[in-house]
Structure 1
Amino acid sequence: MNPLLLTHFTATSCAGRGLDATLAALTEARSGLARCDFEGAALDTFTGRVAGVEDAPVRADLAEFDCRNNRLAQLALLEDGFEARVRDAIARCGAGRVGVFMGTSTAGILETELAYQRRDAQTGALPADFDYASTHNPYSLAAFVRAYFGLRGPAVSVSSACSSGAKVFGSARRMLETGLIDAAVVGGVDTLCLTTLYGFNSLELLAPGPCKPFDVKRDGISIGEAAAFALLEREPSAHAAHTEDDAILLLGIGESSDAYHMSSPHPEGLGARIAMEQALASAGLAAADIGYVNLHGTATPSNDAAESRALTSLFDRVPCSSTKGATGHTLGAAGALEAVIAALALRHRVIPAGVNTSEPDPALGLDYVLTTRAAPLRAVLSNSFGFGGTNCSLVFGRKGAVSA
């Protein structure tokens, strides 16, 4: 595939608001996970909650979109000068030539939960002020971002479980390649809600303490919330601000659907391997060219084992880690959040530590990184795998990672 430029990117999660805070948390091996205090959730688990979302309503002219999910989206858009960079792209390309591609799992389902609590006692009718289309509907996120910037280009929501925030890069790439748009705002946002917390609890997947990906004592996931965005453009040579050394590119994308089981991965990681192979092939790279892999790494025994088998069948002791110990598993936002973390790793030439993991499971055979360290990274891979076998791998690199 033709490389695409990441003109700018940002992320907000329990690990911190913005890139500097996120990088600091990873560098210091500091987790944002805390004992669950989400209203109405009487569960013995830890969550990755972003403080202050409740006190930050969306812009007044967009009040119809007001919900926790879109509030978190707005908080992230305001970080790292991201909004200004998008508006610069709109000025260059035109509002009709910038697309929006958003990944989410539950979107604003919390609004429906709250509406049910206020339904009419006699008729069961939901309150008149409940607006499903602008809040709960998975498309509400894409519609909100599109309205926020006053865009007129295509807008898409992807809801493919935990690969949603990664698959949007593929959706955007296809429209950029066909020339339908010149730039794309891609990202993922998911927020805490009772449906998610109690749903994963019913599957017996929640860890009682902070999650420990790939640890010999790993015992489940910690649910988090996050918003992460990137601005993709087709012609990197047109932007003089990005030098040969500092430009970060999306080099390759791999997608697969193994459909092995509704909630369990293929035990040998078949779909995961296919996604990684496709990502490498589309980037024109060999496995040896990858200096770091950001693992999907949910911290459940079966998921980590399956991903390890897929990874070791392709790579020879590549440094790797899961950053979910710092952020929690942010579900539909995870792919976008970890894409941004991969870009941060490239920008600062560091391999982020796997927070909370103290004793990597030796049976998995990984070069699992426990302390953030410097490394001359040229290309990295980020994995996102979802329920139902919806898999996506992304390759990011610096200019020159692929020889002409």
Structure 2
Amino acid sequence: MVQLQHLQPVGIQCSASLSALGETHADIRQALTQTASCLSLRDDLLLGQSCLVGASGAKLTEQVFAEPLQAFDSRNLRFAITALQQIEAQIHACTADMPRHRLAIVVGTSTSGIADNEPVLQQYFHEKTNAPFSHLKQEMNSLAQGLKHYLNWQGIAYTISTACSSSAKAMAAGQRLLNADLADAVLVGGVDTLCQLTLNGFASLESLSATTCRPCGFERDGINIGEAASLFLLSKKAAPVMLMSAGESMDAWHISAPHPEGRGAAAAMQQALDIAGLQPEHIDYLNLHGTATPQNDAMEIKAVRQIFAAHRPNLSSTKHQTGHCLGAAGALEAFICQQVLQEQWLPLHHNGAIDPELADQHYVQCSEVKQPLRYAMSNSFAFGGSNISLIFGANF
């Protein structure tokens, strides 16, 4: 048996999120407690057809960057900095007395700035021109390094890219850095922006839904893609919502499909509970990975049954309103869990028919809370079997 490392919970000192849900806490709550769709139709991303996506309507910063930050400039980085600017004053206040070499950054992404280079690549392949091309803006670590230059921090800074578990793993890494006393504060989160590469890639896998996705739905047929920028400042100081633990597993069953019995997913959830010192019945809300693909949803509910047995936590997937934000999905859904605990409301599951084979769970159909919500779990399961479950706790 693997000996689990005991980790102390860490506090979420401040956070910000931009996505199809909106920009403010009020926007996000309204979007997740109503049935009107937040997705929009785009015809510039998927070759030869339109598609529904979770696009952010935020106006991105137009700030002129100086060197060396200019070298990392991309829509992805500007999306991140626009979110960061919502909490920049709070970050500086929290870290004012901390040495800059003790301030760390760990973020997740899967697309980085590749969208900025797509037009250049198209021009090259169609016209064989030598248009300027910058590899740096699409390198995975450009996100962490860009944020490091922007904040003028001098501590550890790196990017995690493990597909859809990337930003949840960034949060876990932040907790470990604090527990190992390698940092006094850590900026964690994830940023992914819409681009043609991912839309056409998932279309080639026949994984895109022609309509709004329906996680665990009877007629589910695939995902919608979204974009998000969600950032958190973590420290050892207590906060209204704490990151309690992270459970991670790697089942490596298939390059793009999860283990059909949910073994890796169940292992991640159980490990998160064990590290936090909690029992399944302590979890009041579970944010499903819930992509709305036939295999993923069936696997995840099998894993939920294995871990929670007779206990039926409130659960929902929020991807029908956000789209699947890939490398930023874990951070976006962590932000949703933070708001759920802080403001005491529940995100609605979609209102379509549930698959009868998955219908034995307590899917959220009413946003009102009948009893206080103390603990929330969020699942993120990625290609290759890279699984992670995060647990958050309200610090009443």
- TM-score normalised by length of structure 1: 0.91
Aligned match of 1:87: 92
Aligned match of 1:20: 26
Inter-partner Cα distance in structure 2 for 1:165 and 1:40: 25
Per the alignment, in what secondary structure is the counterpart of residue 197 of structure 2? helix
Per the alignment, in what secondary structure is the counterpart of residue 253 of structure 2? coil
Aligned match of 2:169: 167
Deviation at 1:78, TM superposition (A): 2.4
Per the alignment, in what secondary structure is the counterpart of residue 44 of structure 2? coil
When residues 59 and 341 of structure 1 are mapped into structure 2, their CA distance, relative to the original with a 3 A threshold, is farther
Deviation track 1:117-157 (CA, whole Å, cap 9, x = no partner) reads: 343988654x33x3211x10010111111111111110010
When residues 123 and 26 of structure 1 are mapped into structure 2, their CA distance, relative to the original with a 3 A threshold, is closer
Aligned match of 1:5: 11
Superposition RMSD on alpha carbons, in Å?
A: 1.8
Q: Is the 8 A contact 1:381 1:395 kept in 2?
A: yes
Inter-partner Cα distance in structure 2 for 1:171 and 1:336: 13
Inter-partner Cα distance in structure 1 for 2:155 and 2:341: 30
Q: Give matches, 1:102-121, under 5 Å.
A: 102-119=107-124
Structure 1: tracts of 5 or more residues without a match:
237-241
Inter-partner Cα distance in structure 2 for 1:65 and 1:388: 29
Deviation at 1:252, TM superposition (A): 1.1
Letter in 2 for 1:70: L
Deviation track 1:180-221 (CA, whole Å, cap 9, x = no partner) reads: 101000010001111100000000000001111111111110
> Residue 40 of structure 2: which of 29, 34, 38 is its match?
34
Deviation at 1:269, TM superposition (A): 0.6
Aligned match of 2:248: 255
Deviates more, 1:86-95 or 1:196-205: 86-95
Q: Give matches, 1:174-323, under 5 Å.
A: 174-236=176-238, 242=239, 247-315=240-308, 316-323=311-318
Inter-partner Cα distance in structure 2 for 1:362 and 1:372: 23
Inter-partner Cα distance in structure 2 for 1:124 and 1:311: 53
Aligned match of 1:239: none
> Residue 76 of structure 1: which of 61, 71, 83 is its match?
83
1:358 aligns to 2:363 (yes or no): no
Deviation at 1:72, TM superposition (A): 1.2
Aligned match of 2:3: none
Inter-partner Cα distance in structure 2 for 1:119 and 1:102: 31
Deviates more, 1:91-100 or 1:216-225: 91-100
Inter-partner Cα distance in structure 2 for 1:336 and 1:137: 20
When residues 267 and 148 of structure 1 are mapped into structure 2, their CA distance, relative to the original with a 3 A threshold, is same
Inter-partner Cα distance in structure 2 for 1:120 and 1:31: 37
Deviation at 1:371, TM superposition (A): 2.8
Per the alignment, in what secondary structure is the counterpart of residue 168 of structure 1? helix
Q: Is the 8 A contact 1:29 1:371 kept in 2?
A: no
When residues 91 and 260 of structure 1 are mapped into structure 2, their CA distance, relative to the original with a 3 A threshold, is same
Deviation at 1:235, TM superposition (A): 2.9
Q: Give matches, 1:124-143, under 5 Å.
A: 125=130, 127-128=131-132, 130-133=133-136, 135-143=137-145
Deviates more, 1:110-119 or 1:323-332: 110-119
Deviation at 1:42, TM superposition (A): 3.0
Letter in 2 for 1:166: A
Q: Number of residues paired by the alignment?
A: 384
Deviation at 1:40, TM superposition (A): 6.3
Deviation track 1:99-133 (CA, whole Å, cap 9, x = no partner) reads: 001100111111221221343988654x33x3211
Deviates more, 1:368-377 or 1:207-216: 368-377
Inter-partner Cα distance in structure 1 for 2:362 and 2:257: 24
Q: Is the 8 A contact 1:98 1:153 kept in 2?
A: yes
Deviation track 1:164-188 (CA, whole Å, cap 9, x = no partner) reads: 0100012112211111101000010
Inter-partner Cα distance in structure 1 for 2:94 and 2:57: 30
Inter-partner Cα distance in structure 2 for 1:299 and 1:49: 18
Q: Is the 8 A contact 1:15 1:31 kept in 2?
A: no
Seq. identity, %: 41
